[in-house]
């Protein structure tokens, strides 16, 4: 089955700096790669996703890149703000109906 | 107007008891899931249901029994609760063949 590795487990950045979180996956059949943000005591919320026919996707300060050959994908947050502080999860699945397999999460702290 | 709602939000119970968690979605989605999030924040799939039918049952003790009376509801019943069952349980739904989970708000189960 799919296995998703996520790094780093914790990340601290100064406000205004960029943050990068990286994930690798094992199943070459995976074709859907979402990222979720989970604030303390809240549910995970989808912030951006990418499918395997696309190499990069951007939404304001957030971007995701995908390298299918190397089986890795990354989340980039620019101009970080204190409200970006949360746990971020990457995930992968091979079809829309296959349950997402999540990475172990990255705790991002943005220091004002 | 909550899209995926779970009850109860908090559940404290003694070892050996039996308890249920309920989940309802009003999004018209066909597929529902139960995930367990442990103290280290790891999100792990437990069950997947598509249109009331069990699709995936990961390696979960048979003390856990999901039930889907209709495609809008997926409940989780747990028998003979153990200390290790303490976690946050998230329900989620997605359209059939679709992408992007909508998570419920979670149920924090504490077994004492």
pLDDT in tens, A9-65: 999 999 999 999 999 999 999 999 999 999 999 999 999 999 888 899 999 999 999
Q: Across the interface, do B90 and A34 touch by the CB < 8 Å criterion?
A: no
Q: Are A44 and A38 in contact (CB under 8 A)?
A: yes
Distance CA A62, CA A19 (A): 10
Residue B52, pLDDT score: 79
| pLDDT at residue A96 tops 70 | no
Q: What is the mean pLDDT of chain A?
A: 94
User: In this model, does residue A67 exceed pLDDT 80?
Assistant: yes
- Rg of the Cα trace of chain A? 13
CA A43/CA A41 separation, integer angstroms: 7
CA neighbor of B58 nearest in space, from B73, B47, B66, B43: B47
Q: Nearest 5°: phi and psi at A2?
A: -70, 145
pLDDT reported for residue B5: 95
Q: How far is A43 from chain B (nearest CA, A)?
A: 5
Confidence (pLDDT) at B56: 75
pLDDT at A6: 98
Q: What digits encode the pLDDT tens for the residues B39-56?
A: 988 999 999 888 878 877
Nearest CA in chain A to B108: A41
Say yes or no: A10 contacts chain B, CB-CB below 8 A: no
- Rounded CA gap, B48 and B71, in Å? 12
Do residue B45 and residue A100 have CB atoms under 8 angstroms apart? yes
Mean pLDDT by 10 residues, chain B (112 residues): 90 97 94 93 91 79 92 95 97 81 95 97
Residues with Cβ within 8 Å of B49's Cβ and at least 6 positions away in sequence, in order, are B31, B32, B33, B55, B66, B68, B74
pLDDT of B98 reads 59
Cis peptide bond prior to A43, omega within 30° of 0: no
Written as six digits, the tokens of A84 are 């970006």
Other CB atoms within 10 A of residue B79 CB: 13
The reported pLDDT for the residue numbered B97 is: 65
Q: Give the integer Cα–Cα distance in Å for A1 and A68.
A: 17
Instruction: Supply the DSSP symbol for A99.
Output: P
Question: Does the pLDDT value for residue A97 go beyond 70?
Answer: no
Phi, psi (degrees; rounded to nearest 5) at A16:
95, -20
Kindly determine whether residue A96 and residue B95, on different chains, have CB atoms separated by under 8 Å: yes
């Amino acid at each position: 089955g799919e296995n998703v590795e996520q790094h780093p487990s914790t990340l601290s950045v100064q406000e205004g700096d960029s943050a990068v979180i990286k994930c690798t996956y094992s199943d070459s059949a995976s074709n859907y790669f979402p990222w979720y943000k989970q604030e303390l005591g809240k549910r995970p919320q989808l912030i951006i996703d990418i499918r395997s026919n696309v190499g990069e996707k951007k939404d304001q300060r957030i971007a995701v890149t995908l390298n299918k050959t190397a089986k890795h994908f990354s989340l980039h947050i620019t101009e970080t703000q204190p409200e970006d502080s949360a746990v971020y999860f990457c995930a992968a699945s091979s079809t829309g109906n296959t349950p997402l397999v999540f990475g172990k999460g990255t705790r991002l702290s943005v220091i004002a | 107007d909550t899209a995926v709602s779970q009850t109860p939000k908090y559940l404290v119970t003694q070892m050996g008891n039996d308890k249920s968690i309920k989940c309802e979605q009003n999004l018209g989605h066909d597929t529902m899931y139960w995930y367990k999030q442990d103290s280290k924040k790891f999100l792990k799939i437990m069950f997947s249901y598509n249109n009331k039918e069990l699709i995936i049952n990961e390696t979960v003790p048979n003390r856990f029994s999901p039930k889907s009376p209709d495609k809008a509801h997926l409940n989780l019943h747990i028998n003979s609760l153990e200390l290790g069952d303490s976690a946050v349980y998230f329900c989620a739904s997605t359209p059939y063949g679709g992408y992007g989970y909508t998570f419920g708000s979670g149920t924090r189960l504490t077994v004492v």
